[in-house]
C-alpha cells in the first residue's frame, strides 16, 4: 500500500509520541490522534508526607512523562537533588522530560518498559523510589524487590480513561489500517469505549502496534490477532517497519 494511503490511528494521552506522529506524517501516512487517557496529578500533600522519613535514595524510577511532572518535580522541589541519584526512564520521551526539568543523571536501559528497567538495574541492595500511576500496578516494584532492593512505590497521578467515541472517531477506527496504543491504559480505553461487536470486527481486521509485552498480553486478551510489539520508541526505528511495507 502506498504511503499516502496508510491510515494510522494513535491512541495516546495528551501530547504523547509527538516525534512518532511527525515521522509518520512525513512518511505520507494519514494520522489521527485520539486522546483516550488523561493523567490527573495527585496533590503532593497526598503522597509526599510519608516520604519525609525516607532518607537518601540511590535510584528513582519513572516510566512516563506524567510520572516525571507529578512525582519527580515536586519531590526535587524539596531539595532532593543529590548528583549521585540515578534516574531511570522507560523510553526516550520520559528521558527527555527528565532532562527538561533539570535532571542530568538519566539512565535509559536497552528495551522498553518496566521489565527493561529492572533488568538494567540488576541485583543489589539499592534504595529505590518509584513514581507511578494508579493503573501501572506494583509489578515493577515487586520485580526490583525480588532482586534484593528496597523499593518505595508511590502513586502520584491517576489515569482517567476515555468513556466513549463519537461517530466520526468510530469511523476513523473502522477505516484504520494500523492502530497504535501508547500504553496498556490506552488499550483499555479502546476496549471499554467500543461495543463488543465493533471491537470484535476491529480486532480481527486491523494491525495493532503496542509498546511492551504487558500491552501485548492485554491485546491478545481483547481478541486482537495482528499484534506487533515495537522494539523502540525512537521515531526512526518505530516507523521503519510501518511505512511502507508494514501494512499488509
Give domain limits for the chain: 3-36+162-239, 40-160
Q: Over 60: is that where the pLDDT of 87 sits?
A: yes
Is domain 3-36+162-239 annotated with CATH 3.40.50.2300? no
End-to-end CA, the chain: 8
**What pLDDT shows up at residue 242?**
60
pLDDT digits (tens, 9 = 90+) for 173-220: 999 999 998 888 889 999 989 999 999 999 999 999 888 777 888 899
The pLDDT assigned to 3 comes to 43
CA 79 – CA 29 distance, rounded (Å): 45
Architecture of the domain delimited by 40-160: 3-Layer(aba) Sandwich (3.40)
How many whole angstroms separate alpha carbon 116 and alpha carbon 213? 11
| H or E segment and range at residue 7 | strand 7-12
C-alpha pair distances (Å), 108 with each of 31, 67, 98, 128, 213: 28, 16, 11, 16, 18
Q: Tell me how far apart the alpha carbons of residues 153 and 137 are, in angstroms, rounded to a whole number.
A: 9
pLDDT on residue 22: 81
Q: What pLDDT does 241 receive?
A: 55
Is residue 9 scored above 90 in pLDDT? yes
Q: Is the pLDDT of residue 232 over 70?
A: no
In the chain, the percentage of residues whose pLDDT exceeds 70 is: 89
* Stated pTM of the model: 0.81
77-87: average pLDDT:
79
Amino acid at each position: 500500500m502506498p504511503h499516502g494511503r496508510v491510515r494510522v490511528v494513535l491512541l495516546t494521552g495528551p501530547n504523547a509520541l509527538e516525534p512518532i506522529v511527525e515521522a509518520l506524517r512525513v512518511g505520507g501516512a494519514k494520522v489521527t490522534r485520539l486522546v483516550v487517557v488523561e493523567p490527573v496529578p495527585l496533590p503532593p500533600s497526598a503522597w509526599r508526607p510519608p516520604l519525609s522519613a525516607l532518607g537518601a535514595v540511590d535510584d528513582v524510577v519513572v516510566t512516563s512523562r506524567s510520572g516525571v511532572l507529578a512525582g519527580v518535580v515536586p519531590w526535587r522541589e524539596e531539595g532532593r537533588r543529590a548528583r549521585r541519584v540515578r534516574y531511570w526512564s522507560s523510553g526516550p520521551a520520559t528521558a527527555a522530560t527528565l532532562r527538561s526539568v533539570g535532571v542530568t543523571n538519566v539512565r535509559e536501559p536497552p528495551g522498553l518498559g518496566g521489565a527493561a528497567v529492572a533488568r538494567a538495574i540488576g541485583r543489589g541492595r539499592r534504595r529505590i523510589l518509584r513514581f507511578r500511576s494508579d493503573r501501572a500496578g506494583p509489578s515493577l516494584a515487586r520485580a526490583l524487590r525480588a532482586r534484593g532492593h528496597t523499593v518505595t512505590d508511590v502513586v502520584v497521578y491517576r489515569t482517567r480513561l476515555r468513556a466513549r467515541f463519537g461517530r466520526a472517531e468510530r469511523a476513523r477506527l473502522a477505516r484504520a489500517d494500523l492502530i497504535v496504543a501508547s500504553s496498556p491504559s490506552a488499550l483499555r480505553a479502546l476496549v471499554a469505549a467500543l461495543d463488543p461487536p465493533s471491537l470484535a470486527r476491529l480486532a480481527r481486521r486491523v494491525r495493532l502496534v503496542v509498546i511492551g509485552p504487558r500491552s501485548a498480553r492485554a491485546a491478545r486478551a481483547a481478541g486482537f490477532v495482528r499484534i506487533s510489539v515495537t522494539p523502540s520508541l525512537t521515531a526512526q526505528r518505530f516507523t521503519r517497519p510501518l511505512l511502507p511495507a508494514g501494512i499488509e
